[in-house]
Amino acid sequence: MLETKDLQNLTLDERIINGKNVKKLRRSGFIPANIFGLKSESESLQIESSVLSETLKSVQKSTPILIQKKGDTNSIVCFIEEIQRHPITEEILHVSFKKVDTKKPIKLSIFISITGEAPGVKNLGGILLQPLNYLSIRTLPLEVPSSIVIDVSNLEEIGNTIAVKDISDEYNCEFLDDPSSTIVRIVPPRIEEEEEEEVEEDLEGEEGMEIDGEATTESEDSAESKDTTEQKYY
């Protein structure tokens, strides 16, 4: 379990520019931000763009962080709620933080990380499919795992699967997805086989058309020969 002293710290300034003028704020090297939660009103703040960019290299939406307003001695545990980006340049336009009570469970989605090499893929030519990329969990804010690691090195046969119910007990959280939901499975390489079958069928169809054409030609030749023979009798 993490402690607040282990969390990354962010210091935010009170925002003095709002509304349509926030473009000036961004040009001056700051990103507009809001912090809300715990039944308190949303506060308008700002953070240096360089500091936020550096923070996002190691912090995800599922990572608790410690936020302090400049000039305030109190800090509070928060999660990144939303990051708004420019649709073309992907420049960060706005960031929202949500306050949490460290003694109360929260719900959030956690990224699934795959590790190991599946023998069913390496030795049998199977394909590893991953229907789920994120898992919904409920846990205390300071016990949120950075990711859920799934080891596929025991998937030896085609058809082997790992479901939500198979996840290790090492994670101190409640998984909210259906226990029978498949996270990964090994399937046979049917796509390549189907493509080969389709090619063979196409070739057979083309050969059949040529044969029909030859048959039609022969039939026409026979008809012409018959007509010629009949004309000779007259």
User: Can you give the CATH number for the domain in which 20 is found?
Assistant: 2.40.240.10
For residue 194, is pLDDT > 70?
no
The verdict on residue 222 lying in a domain is no
Are 164 and 179 in a shared domain? yes
CATH code of 135's domain: 2.170.120.20
Are 95 and 21 in a shared domain? yes
Are 9 and 95 in a shared domain? yes
The verdict on residue 61 lying in a domain is yes
Q: Which of these ranges, 58-62, 171-175, 230-234, has the smallest mean pLDDT?
A: 230-234
Q: What pLDDT band is residue 190 in, cutting at 50, 70 and 90?
A: confident
195-233: per-residue pLDDT in tens? 555 555 655 555 544 444 444 444 444 444 444 444 443
Q: How many domains does the chain have?
A: 2
Average of per-residue pLDDT values in the chain: 85
Instruction: Give the angle subtended at the CA of 13 by the CAs of 10 and 18, to the nearest 5°.
Output: 130
Residue 232 vs residue 84, higher pLDDT? 84
- Give the pLDDT of residue 217: 46
Residue 230: in which H helix or E strand, if any? helix 190-233
Neighbouring CB atoms inside 10 A of 139's CB total: 18
Amino acid in the structure at residue 45: L
For residue 18, is pLDDT > 50?
yes
Residue where a domain terminates, one of 48, 81, 99: 99
The verdict on residue 195 lying in a domain is no
Q: What is the DSSP secondary structure assignment for residue 15, as one 8-state letter? A: P
- Give the pLDDT of residue 195: 53
Query: Which of 170, 172, 164 is closest to 132 using CA atoms?
Result: 164
Q: What is the mean pLDDT of residues 144-151?
A: 94
| Structural domain of 169 | 106-190
Q: Which of these ranges, 100-104, 181-185, 188-192, has the smallest mean pLDDT?
A: 188-192
Residue 221 vs residue 12, higher pLDDT? 12
Q: What pLDDT band is residue 81 in, cutting at 50, 70 and 90?
A: very high
- Give the pLDDT of residue 170: 87
Residue 169 vs residue 101, higher pLDDT? 101
Q: Which of these ranges, 59-73, 96-110, 188-202, has the smallest mean pLDDT?
A: 188-202
Task: Read off φ and ψ for residue 103, nearest 5 degrees.
Answer: -95, 0
Tokens of 158: 């085609």
Question: What whole-number distance in Å separates Cα of residue 175 and Cα of residue 139?
Answer: 9
Question: What whole-number distance in Å separates Cα of residue 66 and Cα of residue 41?
Answer: 19
Tokens of 19: 């509304």
Are 80 and 111 in a shared domain? no
Residue 22: in which H helix or E strand, if any? helix 22-27
Are 11 and 95 in a shared domain? yes
The verdict on residue 207 lying in a domain is no
Q: Which of these ranges, 80-84, 182-186, 200-204, has the smallest mean pLDDT?
A: 200-204
Q: What is the mean pLDDT of residues 55-61?
A: 92
Are 138 and 157 in a shared domain? yes
The verdict on residue 75 lying in a domain is yes
Q: What pLDDT band is residue 5 in, cutting at 50, 70 and 90?
A: confident
Are 181 and 110 in a shared domain? yes
Are 117 and 183 in a shared domain? yes
